[in-house]
Amino acid sequence: MNLRPLGDRLVVKPIEEAEQTSTGIFLPETAKEKPQQGKVVAAGPGARKENGERIPLDVKVDDTVLYAKYAGTSIKLQGEEYLILKESDVLAIVENGNK
Amino acid sequence: MNLRPLGDRLVVKPIEEAEQTSTGIFLPETAKEKPQQGKVVAAGPGARKENGERIPLDVKVDDTVLYAKYAGTSIKLQGEEYLILKESDVLAIVENGNK
Amino acid sequence: MNLRPLGDRLVVKPIEEAEQTSTGIFLPETAKEKPQQGKVVAAGPGARKENGERIPLDVKVDDTVLYAKYAGTSIKLQGEEYLILKESDVLAIVENGNK
Amino acid sequence: MNLRPLGDRLVVKPIEEAEQTSTGIFLPETAKEKPQQGKVVAAGPGARKENGERIPLDVKVDDTVLYAKYAGTSIKLQGEEYLILKESDVLAIVENGNK
Amino acid sequence: MNLRPLGDRLVVKPIEEAEQTSTGIFLPETAKEKPQQGKVVAAGPGARKENGERIPLDVKVDDTVLYAKYAGTSIKLQGEEYLILKESDVLAIVENGNK
Amino acid sequence: MNLRPLGDRLVVKPIEEAEQTSTGIFLPETAKEKPQQGKVVAAGPGARKENGERIPLDVKVDDTVLYAKYAGTSIKLQGEEYLILKESDVLAIVENGNK
Amino acid sequence: MNLRPLGDRLVVKPIEEAEQTSTGIFLPETAKEKPQQGKVVAAGPGARKENGERIPLDVKVDDTVLYAKYAGTSIKLQGEEYLILKESDVLAIVENGNK
């Protein structure tokens, strides 16, 4: 994929939660929550400050990130779902997250 | 076409997705999604900073850009549909996008 | 007409689209779209910066401008309809537009 | 009248449009539009900048001004209707306006 | 009364309009408009600027002020109604107003 | 109680108005107004300015303050109701208020 | 858990109030209020100032914090509920709070 996000934006591939909950019960499709984790596949150069310099991003490609439900803009490219988030929509980095 | 956008605005020609989905099924007209890609046909000189200088745009004419559904203002000139976006409405540049 | 707009405002005379669409079909009155082009008949001196200086406008009298539907304030003076827009409501200048 | 407006405010006496329209037809009371012109009867000293200095107003007492419908706050003093507007609500000065 | 307003706030005692209108007709209680004039009974020290200094108020104790309907916060202390306004809610000072 | 408010926040204990109105009529529980006075039991260190310094608060512990109905966040700790207000929600200090 | 919050964000584990109220009455599940206290399990590096420096947080890991009902974003990781708050959503630190 060749998406180059602008400013402080990230392209994120959502991670589906495993089909099994922590209590070991399989849930039918409709009961699954919308994913809130994703892997960063592309990152912008950072937003510009007033003087023209960039503010570097804290998030890097391959980070697994946590984001609020319904954050960002969901896009579909070549049959795959991606999410374009602003770095400020990222709540936290999951350090031993799924890759 | 002779549109000269002001400030950080872009004139974009939306790209219709191919009438065939990734699964090879042809969709009737009403099931097609509103296009979210477009080609930049004109770009403004950049927004002015407080001191009067321009902030140069990151997007150039002929770039293929991705934008959120319903972003910008849709206009019709000489029978063709265009979209006028602010650069901040552009989510990402599609590097090997359709031209 | 002797309207002197304040700050970064423009007085614009809307241009009715020709009664004939690009497909050559005449439309009855009610199907016509609200005009989105207009000719600038007066322009303000520009908004003031914090230090009191004016930021000069990019739009000049006699320019044909494109603006979003329903932008600005519509006024009627001596039986004629005008629109008072802020320059930031102007999307683009139409370079070979109707005069 | 002895109203001293604060900051960048103006006291304006609305001007009723003549009871006759441009086509020469007299309109009954209920069909008249809310006035959008008025004469400035008092003007504030200007808003303060951060450093305490005043930004002088562009509008002066006796100017005839144009303002958006429903702008400002309508007050009644001694049986007369006035409007208190911020200068930023003034769209334009009518140079040969009614006095 | 011992109310000490903070920042750019004023304590105002609303002035009931006389029970007689300008046309000499007495109105029953329910037809009276909510008062829009009041006398300033206490004034704050002024809002702080970023550097910690105060911006002095333009309104002083004993001024009669005009304010928009429903501006501010209405409080009742010792059976009396007062209004706490920010100075920016004051439209104008009535120079020969009722005291 | 050991609540340490952050920034420009105050912990306030609301003061119920006496069950008797100024006209000497006892009101049943449901007719009482929500209290609008309270005593400050803890005060934050002040909001930070851009350069990292604190802006000192004007309100101190033990002050009786007046605040708008429904301002702030109501919390219950150890069976008691408290209100956490920002100093900017405080309208005035009641100088001979109830302690 | 390995969540690394960004900027001025905190990861908080909500503390359920004891099932017994201060009056000694046990409440059924549905009458319990949503918890408003929590223990900080991770804290971000602080928001960036315009010049790129971080503003240090006032809240530290292991603090017990009070926050408004419904503040922040609730997430579920490995079967546990957490809340991601901005430091500005924290009302106060509970000094002898539950740990």
Burial C25-44 (b: 16+ CB within 10 A, else e): eeeeeeeeeebbbbbbbbbb
Chain C residue with CA closest to B2: the answer is: C95
Q: Do chains F and C touch (3 or more CB pairs under 8 A)?
A: no
CA distance D38 to chain C (A): 13
At G76, the pLDDT band (50, 70, 90 cuts) reads confident
Q: Tell me the two tokens of residue C1.
A: 């007409």
Beta-bridge mates of residue F76: F81
Reduced to 3 states (helix: H, G, I; strand: E, B; else coil), residue B29 is helix
CA distance E78 to chain D (A): 30
Name residues whose C-beta falls within 8 Å of residue B17's C-beta, 6 or more positions apart in sequence: B32, B33, B35, B37
Torsional sign, CA C77, C80, C81, C82: negative
B2, B6, B50 member nearest C58 (Cβ): B6
Q: Tell me the two tokens of residue C59.
A: 């739009």
Task: Give G30's DSSP letter.
Answer: G
Q: Measuring CA to CA, how many Å separate B75 from each of B78, B80, B82, C19, D82? A: 10, 8, 5, 17, 41
Chain F residue with CA closest to G90: the answer is: F6
Burial D11-46 (b: 16+ CB within 10 A, else e): bbebbebeeeeeeeeeeeeeeeeebbbbbbebbbbb
At C78, the pLDDT band (50, 70, 90 cuts) reads confident
Chain F residue with CA closest to E49: the answer is: F55
Look at strands A3-5 and G9-15 and give their pairing.
unpaired
User: CB distance F4–G90 less than 8 Å?
Assistant: no
**F15 — contact with chain E (CB < 8 Å)?**
no
Q: For residues E60 and E90, what is the distance between their CA atoms, to the nearest angstrom?
A: 12
Chain A residue with CA closest to G48: the answer is: A55
Look at strands A90-94 and G3-5 and give their pairing.
antiparallel
Nearest 5°: the CA angle D20, D22, D23 is 95
F6-37 pLDDT, tens digit each? 999 999 999 876 544 555 555 454 544 556 88
> Are the CB atoms for F7 and F45 separated by under 8 Å?
yes
> Are the CB atoms for G90 and F3 separated by under 8 Å?
no
> Are the CB atoms for D74 and D81 separated by under 8 Å?
yes
pLDDT for G20 equals 43
pLDDT for C83 equals 92
Average pLDDT value for chain G: 80
Q: For residues B75 and B63, what is the distance between their CA atoms, to the nearest angstrom?
A: 20
The phi, psi pair for D87, rounded to 5°, reads: -55, -30
B7-49 pLDDT, tens digit each? 999 999 998 765 445 555 554 555 455 568 899 999 999 988 7
Reduced to 3 states (helix: H, G, I; strand: E, B; else coil), residue B86 is strand
How many CA atoms lie within 13 Å of C58's alpha carbon, on the beta-carbon side? 21
Assigned CATH class of E9-17+27-94: mainly beta
**G18 — contact with chain F (CB < 8 Å)?**
no
pLDDT at G45 over 50: yes
**In CATH, which of 2.30.33.40, 1.10.760.10, 3.40.50.11890, 3.10.105.10 is domain C9-94?**
2.30.33.40
Torsional sign, CA A35, A36, A38, A44: positive
Q: Measuring CA to CA, how many Å separate A43 from each of A49, A66, B92, C89? A: 17, 15, 10, 32
pLDDT at D38 over 80: yes
Mean pLDDT of G54-62: 92
Burial D49-68 (b: 16+ CB within 10 A, else e): eeeeeebebbbeeebbbbbb
Nearest to F92 by CA among E58, E2, E89: E2
Q: Measuring CA to CA, how many Å separate G46 from each of B83, G49, G53, G56? A: 39, 9, 9, 5
Q: For residues B67 and C77, what is the distance between their CA atoms, to the nearest angstrom?
A: 40
CA distance F97 to chain E (A): 8
**C73 — contact with chain D (CB < 8 Å)?**
yes
pLDDT for B61 equals 97
Write down the domain spans for chain E: 9-17+27-94
Reduced to 3 states (helix: H, G, I; strand: E, B; else coil), residue F88 is helix
Which range among C33-37, D47-51, D61-65, E3-7 shows the weakest confidence by mean pLDDT?
C33-37
**In CATH, which of 1.10.10.10, 3.10.20.30, 3.30.1490.20, 2.30.33.40 is domain A9-93?**
2.30.33.40
Nearest to C37 by CA among C21, C62, C16: C16
- Residue C36, Ramachandran bin (φ over 0: left; ψ between -120 and 50: alpha; else beta): alpha
A37-93 pLDDT, tens digit each? 899 999 999 988 777 788 889 999 999 999 987 788 888 777 788 999 999 999 999
> Are the CB atoms for E74 and E85 separated by under 8 Å?
no
Q: For residues B58 and D2, what is the distance between their CA atoms, to the nearest angstrom?
A: 56
pLDDT for D99 equals 43
**C5 — contact with chain D (CB < 8 Å)?**
yes
DSSP class per residue in C2-61: -EEE-TTEEEEEEEPPPSB-TTS-B--GGGSPPP-EEEEEEE---PBPTTS-B---S--T
> Are the CB atoms for E18 and E94 separated by under 8 Å?
no
pLDDT at A11 over 80: yes
Q: For residues C22 and C32, what is the distance between their CA atoms, to the nearest angstrom?
A: 13
pLDDT for A75 equals 83
Q: For residues G58 and E85, what is the distance between their CA atoms, to the nearest angstrom?
A: 33
**A51 — contact with chain G (CB < 8 Å)?**
no
User: CB distance D75–E21 less than 8 Å?
Assistant: no
CA distance A17 to chain G (A): 10
Mean pLDDT of D8-23: 74
E6-46 pLDDT, tens digit each? 999 999 999 876 544 555 555 454 544 556 889 999 999 99
pLDDT at G29 over 60: no
User: CB distance B42–C92 less than 8 Å?
Assistant: yes
Which range among A31-35, B41-45, C12-16, F56-60 shows the weakest confidence by mean pLDDT?
A31-35
**G73 — contact with chain F (CB < 8 Å)?**
no
Mean pLDDT of D25-33: 50
> Are the CB atoms for C54 and C31 separated by under 8 Å?
no
Say yes or no: ipTM exceeds 0.90.
no
Nearest to G74 by CA among G84, G65, G64: G84
pLDDT for B78 equals 75
CA distance F93 to chain G (A): 22
**F51 — contact with chain E (CB < 8 Å)?**
no
CA distance D22 to chain C (A): 6
Which range among C18-32, C59-73, E81-95, G67-81 shows the weakest confidence by mean pLDDT?
C18-32
Chain G residue with CA closest to F6: the answer is: G92
Between F and G, how many CB-CB pairs are < 8 A?
47
Task: Please state which architecture CATH assigns to domain B9-16+33-94.
Answer: Roll (2.30)
At C65, the pLDDT band (50, 70, 90 cuts) reads very high
Reduced to 3 states (helix: H, G, I; strand: E, B; else coil), residue E49 is coil
Nearest to A42 by CA among A59, A66, A67: A59
pLDDT at C98 over 60: no
**E73 — contact with chain F (CB < 8 Å)?**
yes
- Residue D93, Ramachandran bin (φ over 0: left; ψ between -120 and 50: alpha; else beta): beta
